[in-house]
Structure 1
Amino acid sequence: MPHAMPDIANSTQAQTTGTLDRVGMSKIELPIMLSFENQAPTRIEADVEAFVNLTVAEAKGIHMSRLYLLLDELSTESVLNYASLRTLLEGFISSHEDLSDVAQLSFKFDYHLRRESLISKKTGWKAYPMQINARYQNQRMQVELKVDVPYSSTCPCSAALARQLIQDAFSQQFQNKEAINFDNIHRWLGSTQGIVATPHSQRSIAEVKVILADNVKDFPFIQLINSIEDALQTPVQAAVKRADEQEFARLNGQNLMFCEDAARRLQQRLIGQTEFADFWLRVNHLESLHAHDAVSETTKGVPGGYTA
């Protein structure tokens, strides 16, 4: 008759006693069906972290396989939404009765959205890096969402210097005041000699984290992305025609911003959204002039909340 396999976690004591805040697994690769904001369930490839605390100082450890099997059940038989996330976290704790009373989960993934171009209204896919972080304790779940949104930023200082060069070129071209007439100026402005300098711009990234208010029972990623892109006005485009490219150039020229300007725009937009109990944001201007990046961070300023 075969011998029973040893269960070290249950049958032995810890070599050194002590409670632990988080024990579990990271870099779990799982296909997940994700549903939020009335979007049809969509398959994502998620990088998952799963943890519980260990409240018994003498216990050898937790049962990691139980966490994994619950995640696998979600992957194969269910859809990740607000309700199922809560059920999953409750399952983490109930599967570790008398060992744990806090559960935490993190899902990191890219989500593809169809985005419409500025003028032609052509649509194309844009991938947004997203993250769902959740913590369950005392029958309360706190959910944090994170998203990275790319946009274009044009330097106000560079724009002013470019305008000065254009003024100088105009003065040289039209020293003879007799040559100043509408047709000559119009033709000159459309030439490479007329626009002798352009301001520098760069791809930029807005990283935004929000804590959902207790009355929010969804993952409002699209609302958050739309708020960010509307505030900044220069989101990176997907499918474009020439009219879209021209409109993108116009928007860049009408929305000159240092990293401080971008951060303040986002700060003012997010402060007014009651769905978010707290927020943290960081704007990264990936400089085309300098070898370093320009960065600005800020928070909502909630006591005991995020700090920059």
Structure 2
Amino acid sequence: MKPPMASTSPPRALPDLSRSASPGMAQALDWVGMRNIRLPLQLDDPLCPSAVPSGVDMLINLPCAGIRGIHMSRLYTLLMRVAKAPQSPAGLIALLQQAIAGHAESRSDAARFVWHGEIVCPTGALVTPDLEGWMSHAVKLEAELSTAGAAIWLTVEATYASTCPCSASLARQLIQEQFEREHAGQGTIDLQRASDWIGRNASFATPHSQRSLAQLRVRVDPSARWDLGGLIGAADDALGTFSQGPVKRADEQAFAQRNGHNLMFVEDAARRLLSALSARYADGVIEVTHLESLHPHDAHAAVRWGAA
């Protein structure tokens, strides 16, 4: 379909009710704008080497009760410019400054930007050489500028495995009791017989594990970099059982060993993450959820620090 031909007539003056009409009910508003604008956006970070499909919120305040509305097309135009280059924390603050400046007649003095996207990181197998794949993380950015100052928050979601310490203890007890029943009265048992018995019966009872979710929300210095890799890596080191990409049997066995060395309740996971991230970031919030295999409900823990 061909686009319509441009008119050669002089431009007409079009009505602008956002400026010429008073609101029927005078009231200041905290935020006005658009939510979930779909556009490709790239972050200035090694883990985001190209633009990714994104949902963006772009909002400003309307503090003057006598002004009916704002010009949302101006906000949209700003976002189209932003989509053309990788965005840093400082770049987002500049965007918010432009949004406020572009609505001087509305007396706006605050702006807010929210980005929802996903990064896909390369990952390798635990043991098998050259076995590579991908791991995805949902990411959210929140940037706000007002007379109180600027604030930027970065949220990353990660999945990991959690093996219940109580369940592991109960499983070990059952295996121990079964061993004692089968070898009662036999006195000393040689190493090979004991090893053979373990090989046949170590799964007589097994602890329950579950896929688990960590939501990591940290405050980013507007003059710093995103450092997605540093945040994700610190969480991975703290938990030790991040979900894996490709695996062969040797990798699955190595992951089973990691789970055995990292038994954790939901409280343990939250505390591990708090210890790791509070050393890197002055403010933050951690939420962890274990999608229980024993129960039809989930276990949850949350903790915040600093000014979060």
TM-score in terms of structure 1 length: 0.91
Aligned to 1:119: 127
In the alignment, does 2:264 pair up with 1:219? no
- Per-residue deviation at 1:136? 1.4
Q: Out of 278, 282, 285, which is 2:290 matched to?
A: 285
Contact persistence 1:35–1:42 (CA under 8 A):
no
Q: Which runs of 5+ in 2 are unaligned?
A: 1-8
Show the counterpart of 2:74: 66
Report the equivalent of 2:266.
259
> How many residues are aligned here?
297
Alignment of structure 1 residues 95-244 onto 2, 5 Å: 95-99=102-106, 100-121=108-129, 122-138=131-147, 140-177=149-186, 180-191=189-200, 193-213=201-221, 216-244=223-251
The 5-angstrom pairing of residues 5-16 of structure 1 reads 5-16=14-25
Q: Structure 1: how far apart are the matches of 2:119 and 2:180?
A: 52
Q: Which amino acid aligns with 1:282?
A: E
1:71-129: CA deviation from partner (whole Å, max 9, x where unpaired): 12222x32222232222111111111132111100000111001222222532111100
Report if aligned partners of 1:281, 1:299 keep a CA contact under 8 Å in 2: yes
Partner of 2:40 in structure 1? 31
Q: Secondary structure at the match of 1:149?
A: strand
Percent identical among aligned pairs is 39
The letter of the residue matching 2:297 is H
- CA–CA separation in structure 1 for the residues paired with 2:272 and 2:54: 31
8 A contact 2:42–2:48 mirrored in 1: no
Determine the structure 2 residue equivalent to 1:268.
Answer: 275
Contact residue 40 and residue 53 of structure 2 kept, 8 A: yes
- Are 1:21 and 2:30 matched, yes or no? yes
* Contact 1:213-1:277 within 8 A present in 2 as well: no
SS of the counterpart of 1:98?
helix
CA contact (8 A) 1:22 1:53 kept: yes
Alpha-carbon distance, 1:173 to partner: 2.1
Whole-Å separation in 1 of the counterparts to 2:43 and 2:126? 28
- Consecutive unaligned residues of structure 1, counting only runs of 5 or more, are none
Matched residues in 2 for 1:291 and 1:67: separation? 45
After superposition, the CA RMSD in angstroms is 1.8
SS of the residue corresponding to residue 51 of structure 2 reads strand
Query: In 2, Cα distance between the equivalents of 1:51 and 1:258?
Result: 40
Per the TM alignment, residue 140 of structure 1 is displaced from its structure 2 partner at its CA by: 4.1
Contact 1:152 / 1:203 at 8 angstroms: preserved in 2? Answer: yes
Instruction: Indicate conservation of the 8 Å contact 2:47/2:228, yes or no.
Output: no
Q: 1:49 is matched with which residue?
A: 57
CA contact under 8 A between 2:47 and 2:229: conserved in structure 1?
no
SS at 1:34 equivalent:
coil
TM-score by length of 2: 0.91
Q: Is the 8 A contact 1:169 1:194 kept in 2?
A: no
Deviation string for 1:185-225 (max 9, x for gaps)? 1112111x3430110000000111111245x4211221111
TM superposition shift of 1:228: 0.8
Matched, 1:297 2:302: yes
* Mapped contact 1:170–1:194 kept (Cα < 8 A): no
